[in-house]
Amino acid sequence: MLIIKGLSMSFNKGTDNELRLFDGLNLEIEKNRCTALIGPNGCGKSTLLNLIAGSIKLDQGQIILDGEEITKLKEEERANLLGRVYQDPYMGVSPSLTILENMALADKKGERFTLKRLIRKKNIDRYREILRELNLGLENKLHTKVKYLSGGQRQSLSLIMATMKHPSLLLLDEHTAALDPKTSDLVMKKTKELIEKHAITTIMISHNLKDALEYSDRIIMLNRGNIILDRRSKDITEDQLMEIYRKKLEMVA
């Protein structure tokens, strides 16, 4: 479970352009559930993810993951507990290395890196098995450099790499936004399978309301750093959501 307490954060602090985004935000994300964050550009979705991951610093507040306070941890220290898939499929992989080399790197996440050989024969079958579950034929391309894969294949690999060590929390930052609709659908389905299979607590940002509803258990709408809607995904339809989206946003605008 992720608990965010009294989170405050401003951009351009101490200048005339200071922009207060979060002002005492409280949020609890339930364990083993997928929570979708939606909202217009600038509402704070991505910033919230960056704050959780430690890519940007908060001004005030606490972030507690599975009972451990992670507020003071550096980005790379938090990374051991988190998995993250970005919008850009290149962000989660090393493009000039092969699929096998990328998998082997992800498999060492959070461990000590030493002067032992990275690729161990005994692990290759396990990697192949993990890739086979994706159904993309990647298990036959272990020695292909990742830069030669398609966006969808690359993003699926990023997803596998981010979840391989079963993180306490998975952050999906519009991870299908750069893909064509068909590929996007497929990656979303694979995402759902993976997070259900390994019971991974997930926060997903999406601009696609339909996806957000279909693939999440809970839906949270943000506007200017405030939660303006918080519902179970099955209790609301896409049309209702659209209606609220429009009304609420007009109201606060």
Partner 1 sequence: MNSLIITSIEQGLIFGILAMGVLLTYKILDIADLTVEGSFPFGAFIFAKLVTSGLNPIASTLLSFLFGTLAGLLTAILFTKLKIKPLLSGILTMTILYSVNLKTNGKANIPLFSHASIYDLGPIMITLIIIALIIKVTLDSFLKTEIGYLLIATGDNESLVKSLGKNSNNYKILGLMLANGLVALSGALMAQYQGFVDITMGSSIIVVALASIIIGDTIGKKSNRIKNTSKAIMGAIIYKIIGGIAIDLGLEPSDLKAVSAIIVIAFLSYNNLFSQLLDIKRIRGGEKYADNKRPVNELQ
In the complex, the residues that contact partner 1 under the rule CB under 8 A are 74-77, 79-80, 82-84, 86, 90-97, 101, 104-106, 108-110, 113-119, 136-137, 149-153, 162, 180, 182-183, 186
Return the C-alpha torsion angle 68, 6, 208, 131, nearest 10. -10
Beta bridge partners of 34: 202
Question: Which residues are CB-neighbours of 153 under 8 A, at least 6 positions away?
Answer: 136, 138
**Exposed, middle or buried, 16 (CB in 10 Å: 0-12/13-18/19+)?**
exposed
Nearer to partner 1, 118 or 236 (CB): 118
Cβ 49 to partner 1 shortest distance, Å:
13
Strands 60-65 and 34-38: what pairing? unpaired
Cβ 223 to partner 1 shortest distance, Å:
28
Nearer to partner 1, 187 or 212 (CB): 187
Cβ 179 to partner 1 shortest distance, Å:
10
Nearer to partner 1, 84 or 218 (CB): 84
Nearer to partner 1, 35 or 50 (CB): 50
Nearer to partner 1, 75 or 243 (CB): 75
Strands 226-232 and 60-65: what pairing? unpaired
Q: Give me the helix-helix angle, 121-132 and 99-107, nearest 10°.
A: 100
Cβ 93 to partner 1 shortest distance, Å:
6
Cβ 37 to partner 1 shortest distance, Å:
20
